[in-house]
Amino acid sequence: MGNSSSMLTQYDIEEVQDHCSNTFSQQEIVSLYQRFCQLDRNGCGFISAEEFMTVPEFAVNPLSQRLFRMLDGLNFKEFVAFLSSFSSRASMQQKVEFIFRVYDSDGNGKVTFNEMLDILRDLTGQFISEQQREVDYILIFLFG
């Protein structure tokens, strides 16, 4: 898969479709490939986190720093798989697994109390105190 949409073969498209559990149509994959090539400014076949940060919607996301670690060095297949979690056609399981990876910042397969506080900190910024965050987290945990 080179750096031009003409280099995306039918086989490539079908392979990417399979990789992302058919979340995207073939035409959507071609469009995503064109966007991938625009983001891959140095044409190396991978998108760095810095290149991804040029997307305005991503740059203003309060969780962008958490997503940053998931994005660095994505090839096209991984790029599509990453985006598939945001699709309305993604399964609930896909969405839950993605969110879990965002929350599990150390990648140990567990979401700790401190990781939850970090998420609350990312989402609320300077608007509430550390003590209030802890109380809010405990209330959410107890009463859902």
CA distance 75 to 81: 10
Tokens at 9, concatenated: 């073969």
Instruction: Indicate the SS3 state at residue 47.
Output: strand
What pLDDT score does 4 carry?
A: 43
142 burial level (CB within 10 Å; 0-12, 13-18, 19+) = exposed
Four-way CATH pick for 1-89: 3.90.1150.10, 1.10.238.10, 1.20.120.1200, 2.60.40.740: 1.10.238.10
Overall pTM > 0.85 = no
16 burial level (CB within 10 Å; 0-12, 13-18, 19+) = buried
CB contact at 8 A, 20 and 98: no
Sorted by sequence, the CB contacts under 8 Å of residue 74 that are 6+ apart come out as 46, 47, 52, 82
Averaged over 23-46, what is the pLDDT? 92
What pLDDT score does 116 carry?
A: 82
C-alpha torsion sign, points 100, 104, 105, 107: negative
Averaged over 129-137, what is the pLDDT? 71
Domain spans of the chain, in order of start: 1-89, 104-144
CA distance 46 to 110: 29
Mean pLDDT computed over every residue of the chain: 83
